[in-house]
Amino acid sequence: MAAMIGRIWGAFNPPATPKSKDALRFGILGAANIAPLALLGPAKTHPEIIIQAVAARDRTKAEKFAKANSIPEVKNSYQDVLDDSNIDCVFIPLANSLHFEWAVRSIRAGKHVLLEKPSVANATEAEILFNLPELSKHDGPVLLEAFHNRFYPAWSFFRSIINPTDVVHVSSNSMIPWWGTGKDDIHFNYDLAGGTMMAMGTYNFAALRMAFDADPEECLSCDVTPGTEGVHEKCDYDFTARFRFPNGAIGEAHSTLKGPTIWTPSHVTATHRAVVVPDELLSADLEKVQSREVTLHGIIHGIFWHRIDVKDVFEIRSKDDGSVIRKWTEQKSHKAYSFDEAGGEFADLPGETSWMSYRYMLEQFVNRVRGRETQHWVSGQDSIAQMKMLDMAYEKSGLGVRPTSEYAATVA
């Protein structure tokens, strides 16, 4: 308990870090509630990041936000942020429906972009955005979908102890209690590309893709509870989706934004097929078979709490008739709040136990902007595949994909 308190205290009360003379200056488009957690806090401990400016539709709101977060400049509009040559990077935490337009505008203004997930409203927008010619230039802007949890050490460790080619089933669950959301939240606004799959489900879908290291071939089913009136219509409050992956593997995902009163941690479980493993101590007529199940609890905000459970079931079988001579189970649990704790190939990667997943992501974002090596990344093609999976599920659900921005028609 003491370690957890110290870790979380350090995450939310980071020490001031001196900034380098050539630090990258960020502008924020929108005074969004997620910005302090996703960027402002992590930036405090990065010597190469300065939060320079913010803009919001309501200047008064932007001014209050800037004052509360010690941001030196307030711009009159999003475009004013992009027109400022002193701004190197932008963070876009706007409603999903606005991601595409302002990401395109930012890139064409020469800014590096950290884009809140989901990256856009649908795969049509993703194909256009991530294939912009500006991104393929040698010195072009960097664009990253801010899938922060994928940069956390626990995820790296989880993936290192599963073998995607042997995984036959993956399930992933998440939830937000009913009291954590309100009817008028942007998550429940179809016009703003809302829905539970867009909000929480995108984490679960990504978990399936990462565990299989593959993209789904088909959405077999997607059951939803939708809103029934106005902007809430066609917005899913909860969903349960089932996908077919290569070689007949099955992935299942569930999430809700109207869950039970008591919050339960998110998780992903990868189940492997039984495989023969070497054992030199066995006689020639016997073989050793292993079945593995790995669960990562706490797939989204691992710093608060997570645990990686490994369950291995072993059998000694006769090669002649397949009869089981002996069977036993071995179970272990692991934690990885830093890459040092993850160990092995990750041991020397940078990080502290007080770093949130956002801070690990920011480290890689800056490295990519600076032209340095990045150990983890979410590529444009990865982000496109993620949106295709979301579209696949929405189409199967009968709600239809989220609407494409009118701005897309203007992008040549």
Task: Check pLDDT > 90 for residue 184.
Answer: no
Q: Are 330 and 305 in contact (CB under 8 A)?
A: no
Question: What pLDDT is recorded for position 228?
Answer: 82
What does the alpha-carbon distance between residue 105 and residue 290 come to, in Å, rounded to a whole number?
52
pLDDT for the residue numbered 9: 92
Whether residue 212 has pLDDT greater than 90? yes
Residue 209 is predicted with a pLDDT of 98
Share of the chain above pLDDT 90, in %: 94
Which tokens sit at 110? 């020469």
DSSP for 343-384, please give it.
-GGGTTS---TT--HHHHHHHHHHHHHHT---SS---HHHHH
pLDDT in tens, 366-403: 999 999 999 999 999 999 999 999 999 999 999 999 99
Determine the Cα–Cα distance for residues 112 and 89; give it in Å rounded to an integer: 4
Q: Does residue 198 or residue 138 have the better pLDDT?
A: 198
Output the pLDDT for position 15: 85
Q: Which of the four pLDDT bands, split at 50, 70 and 90, describes residue 27?
A: very high
Q: What is the mean pLDDT of the chain?
A: 96
88-92, 155-159, 186-190: range with lowest mean pLDDT: 186-190
Residue 407's nearest CA partner among 112, 136, 129 is: 129
- pLDDT for position 384: 98
> Tokens standing for 248?
């007949």
Residues 276 and 138 sit within 8 Å (Cβ to Cβ) = no
294-307: average pLDDT: 97
| Stretch 20-40: mean pLDDT | 97
Could you tell me if 362 and 377 are in contact, meaning their C-beta atoms sit under 8 angstroms apart?
no
- Indicate if the pLDDT at residue 412 is higher than 80: no
Tell me the pLDDT tens digit for each residue of 4-21. 888 989 999 988 899 999
Q: Which residues, 6 or more positions from 245, have their beta carbon under 8 angstroms from its beta carbon?
A: 208, 212, 214, 215, 216, 217, 251
**Does the pLDDT value for residue 106 go beyond 90?**
yes
Coil/strand/helix, residue 268: strand
Position 178: which residue type?
Answer: W
| 274: pLDDT strictly greater than 90 | yes
243-256 residue pLDDT tens: 999 999 999 999 99
Dist CA 65 CA 122 (whole Å): 30
Residue 371, classified by CB atoms within 10 Å of its CB into exposed (0-12), middle (13-18) or buried (19+), is: exposed
